[in-house]
Amino acid sequence: MSPTSEPSITDKKKWYKQFWPWFLITIPVCSMILSFNMLRFAFDGQDAMVVDDYYKQGKAINISLEKIQVAKARNIQTELTVNENDVSLRFISGAPETGAALNLAFYHVTQAPKDQTVDLFRDAQGIYRGSTEHDLIGKWQVALTPHDKEWKVQQTLSFPNTDPIIFTP
């Protein structure tokens, strides 16, 4: 037999220079990295959608529905205009007699930290004006209430929208 016909032990590649051991090691290492990331997300994330006292929340929803019924009985209709951070609201019907300030709350449908409340004050023309802290981009649940929380008008709106929006209960 000639020395070139059979490879000797020293001619074989070492294990760390071959493809398959590294391929087989990569699969569990990637799995471990993904598992640690999922654990980190699980511990750092907040479960804002979970409610501890669902009975109390249900009662609050019923009260909120009663306030919407009061707004319907008063035939409250407004025209809402949002230009960047400026908000103006004009009553079409059912305007409060006192002219007291109103609360306009913007609740982001998926991101609670973006929620904000705007105080609207009536000017000489009878238009309620205020300004938002942050830009309103995306889908929002918008709720209009007086300071005494006697009635409530709410609607789901998408911004940016420079056209006047008819805002009804």
Q: Where are the domains of the chain?
A: 14-43, 75-167
Please give the model's pTM, rounded to 2 decimal places.
0.63
Of 2.70.170, 3.30.450, 2.10.25, 2.60.40, the CATH number of 75-167 is 2.60.40
Helix (H) or strand (E) holding 44: helix 19-44
Distance of CA 48 to the CA centre of its chain: 11
The low-confidence residues of the chain, meaning pLDDT below 70, are 1-11, 47-51, 53-56, 58-63
Q: 85 and 137 in contact (C-beta within 8 Å)?
A: no
Give the tens place of pLDDT for each residue, 55-93: 667 666 666 788 888 888 888 888 998 888 889 999 888
Q: Nearest 5°: CA angle at 156, between 152 and 160?
A: 120
**C-alpha to C-alpha distance for 65 and 46, rounded to whole angstroms:** 28
